[in-house]
């Protein structure tokens, strides 16, 4: 038996009505949206495992992504209030999902939370080539760039961004943060990035540190 919460299990079952019902119930009960997202993440990890075991296929991945997007539509307006900061512009952060990777649900959470904290965010979207990250850092003077990757085979793309920032003479001017479910400290070392963030809240904390706002 799994020890998933009811919400995580409903997500694994791809039971959209039940997911929406439980999320609504939790929101009305005043539960922390980050806790709700964490429960959803547990469900998504389980879906990932089922996919690896060939019990779920691409259609289930797509469906789970769609259900989670619906949940995020409800939760995102609440994320802006999670970290209350009075500064109107805390600094610029460039964020995107690296080339060949189109996963964006986690990246969008990071963007929303950074904006909610007062950062000006340049969201480059998904499948972003290294030179676009470099050009945007150059143009905005951002001191922080966040790279999202959910696929092992796109880790070299994160390394490429770090290398191209160095080649453009920007490496000592900008800090690179990586995130996404399969990332960890080893991946950070491989890419040469400065920080690995285990979740969006950790990413926000790092950006505040970079901009001296802690
Ligand atoms: C939904 C999903 C999809 C959806 C994505 C929809 C979308 N718009 O994003 C679709 C169906 C498109 C998809 C496609 C594929 N997927 Co997919 N997918 C998933 C799944 C089930 C959930 C991902 C998700 O949204 N999680 C929820 C979010 C909230 O979590 P998150 O992204 O990790 O983000 C959190 C943190 O990591 C962090 N974070 C994330 N990015 C960043 C960045 C920064 C800067 C910071 C600070 C923090 C941060 O903040 C977030 C909130 O805390 C995962 C399973 C898993 N374990 O993650 C597989 C998974 C990522 N997919 C996988 C695969 C293999 C694929 C495909 C190759 C399948 C195929 N055969 O076609 C394609 C690749 C498409 C491509 N080129 O990108 C594998 C990857 C294996 C690997 N490690 O290489 C996984 C792990 C499933 C598995 N276990 O096999 N997928």
Q: Which tens digit of pLDDT belongs to each residue from 96-137?
A: 999 999 999 999 999 988 988 889 999 999 999 999 999 999
Q: Which residues contact 130 (CB under 8 A, 6 or more apart)?
A: 98, 99, 157, 160, 161, 163, 164
User: Pocket residues for ligand 1 (CB within 6 Å)?
Assistant: 41, 44-45, 47-48, 51-52, 58, 61-62, 64-65, 68, 95, 100-107, 109-110, 146-148, 150-152, 177, 179-182, 197, 199-200, 203
Q: Does 154 have pLDDT greater than 70?
A: yes
Nearest-atom index, ligand 1, CA of 206: 47
Distance 192 CA to ligand 1 centre (A): 22
Nearest-atom index, ligand 1, CA of 183: 37
For the chain, give the mean pLDDT: 93
Nearest-atom index, ligand 1, CA of 34: 53
Sign of CA dihedral 197, 198, 204, 206: negative
pLDDT band at 2 (very low <50, low <70, confident <90, very high): low
Q: Which tens digit of pLDDT belongs to each residue from 38-67?
A: 899 899 989 989 999 999 999 999 999 999
The DSSP-derived string for the chain is: -----HHHHHHHTT-HHHHHHHHHHHHHTT--HHHHHHHHHHHHHHHHHHHHTTSS-HHHHHHHHHHHHHHHHHHHHHHTTTS----S---EEEEEEBTT----HHHHHHHHHHHHTT-EEEE--SSB-HHHHHHHHHHHT-SEEEEE--SGGGHHHHHHHHHHHHHTT-TTT-EEEEESTT--HHHHHHHT-SEE-SSHHHHHHHHHHHTT--
Q: Which tens digit of pLDDT belongs to each residue from 63-105?
A: 999 999 999 999 988 886 544 444 457 899 999 999 999 999 9
Residue ranges of domains in the chain, CATH in brackets: 6-79 (1.10.1240.10), 92-210 (3.40.50.280)
Strand 92-97 versus strand 175-179 pairing type: unpaired
């Amino acid at each position: 038996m799994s020890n998933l919460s009811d919400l995580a299990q409903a997500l694994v079952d791809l039971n959209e009505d039940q997911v929406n019902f439980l999320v609504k119930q939790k929101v009305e009960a005043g539960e922390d949206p980050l806790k709700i997202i964490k429960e959803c993440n547990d469900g998504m990890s389980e879906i990932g495992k089922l996919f690896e075991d060939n019990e779920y296929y691409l259609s289930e991945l797509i469906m789970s992504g769609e259900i989670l997007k619906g949940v995020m539509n409800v939760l995102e307006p609440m994320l802006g209030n999670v970290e209350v900061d009075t500064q109107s512009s805390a600094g610029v952060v460039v964020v995107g999902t690296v080339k060949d990777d189109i996963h964006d649900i986690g990246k969008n959470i990071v963007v929303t939370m950074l904006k909610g904290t007062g950062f000006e965010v340049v969201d480059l979207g998904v499948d972003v080539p290294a030179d676009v990250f470099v050009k945007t850092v150059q143009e905005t003077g951002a001191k922080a760039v966040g790279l999202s990757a959910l696929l092992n085979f796109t880790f070299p793309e994160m390394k490429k961004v770090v290398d191209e920032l160095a080649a453009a003479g920007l490496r000592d001017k900008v800090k690179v943060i990586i995130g996404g479910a399969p990332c960890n400290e080893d991946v950070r070392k491989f890419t040469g990035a400065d920080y690995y963030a285990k979740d969006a809240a950790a990413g926000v904390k790092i950006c505040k540190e970079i901009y001296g706002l802690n």
